[in-house]
Amino acid sequence: MDILDYFTFEPVGARIDELETPVPIIDIDIVDRNLKRFQERCDKLGIANWPHIKTHKLVPLARYQVALGAKGITVQKLGEAEAMADGGIEDMLLTFNILGASKLKRLAALVRRVNMTVVADNPVVIHGLGEAGRDAGKDIGVLVECDTGARRNGAQTPAEAAALAKEIADTPGVVYKGLMTYPAPGTRLSTEAFLTEARDLIAKAGQETEIVSVGGSPDMWKDEGLDLATQYRAGTYVYFDRALIKAGACTFDDCALSVLTTIVSVPTPDRALIDAGSKALTMDLLGLEGYGVVHAMGDAPIYGLNEEHGYLDISKVDPKPAVGDLVRVTPNHVCPVSNLYDRVVFHRGDTVLGAVKVDARGAVQ
Q: Which residues bind a copy of itself (CB under 8 A)?
A: 13, 18, 20-23, 54, 76-77, 96-97, 99-100, 102-103, 121-122, 124-125, 147, 151-156, 262, 264-268, 271, 273, 275-276, 278-280, 282-285, 306-309, 311, 322-324, 335-336, 339-342, 362, 364-365
User: Min. distance of Cβ 102 from a copy of itself in angstroms?
Assistant: 5
Q: How far is the CB of 176 from a copy of itself (least distance, A)?
A: 18
Instruction: Name the nearest CA neighbour of 139 among 104, 96, 171, 91.
Output: 171
Shortest Cβ 29–a copy of itself spacing (Å) = 26
Nearer to a copy of itself, 68 or 107 (CB): 107
Q: Which CB, 21 or 191, lies closer to a copy of itself?
A: 21
Question: Residue 271 CB, nearest distance to a copy of itself (Å)?
Answer: 7
User: Which one, 66 or 335, has the nearer CB to a copy of itself?
Assistant: 335
Between 39 and 156, CB nearer to a copy of itself: 156
Nearer to a copy of itself, 76 or 231 (CB): 76
- Using the minimum distance from each CB to a copy of itself, give the nearer residue, 114 or 266: 266
Contacts of 44 by beta carbon, 8 Å cutoff, 6+ apart: none
Minimum distance from residue 268 beta carbon to a copy of itself (Å): 7
Distance CA 283, CA 309 (A): 12
Least Å distance, CB 252 to a copy of itself, is 23
Nearer to a copy of itself, 159 or 323 (CB): 323
Residues 337/310, Cβ–Cβ less than 8 Å = no
**With 0-12 CB in 10 A as exposed, 13-18 as middle and 19+ as buried, what is 324?**
exposed
- The least CB distance from residue 105 to a copy of itself, in Å, is 10
Distance between first and last Cα of the chain: 34
Which among 320, 322, 187, 314 is positioned nearest to 264, based on CA atoms?
Answer: 322
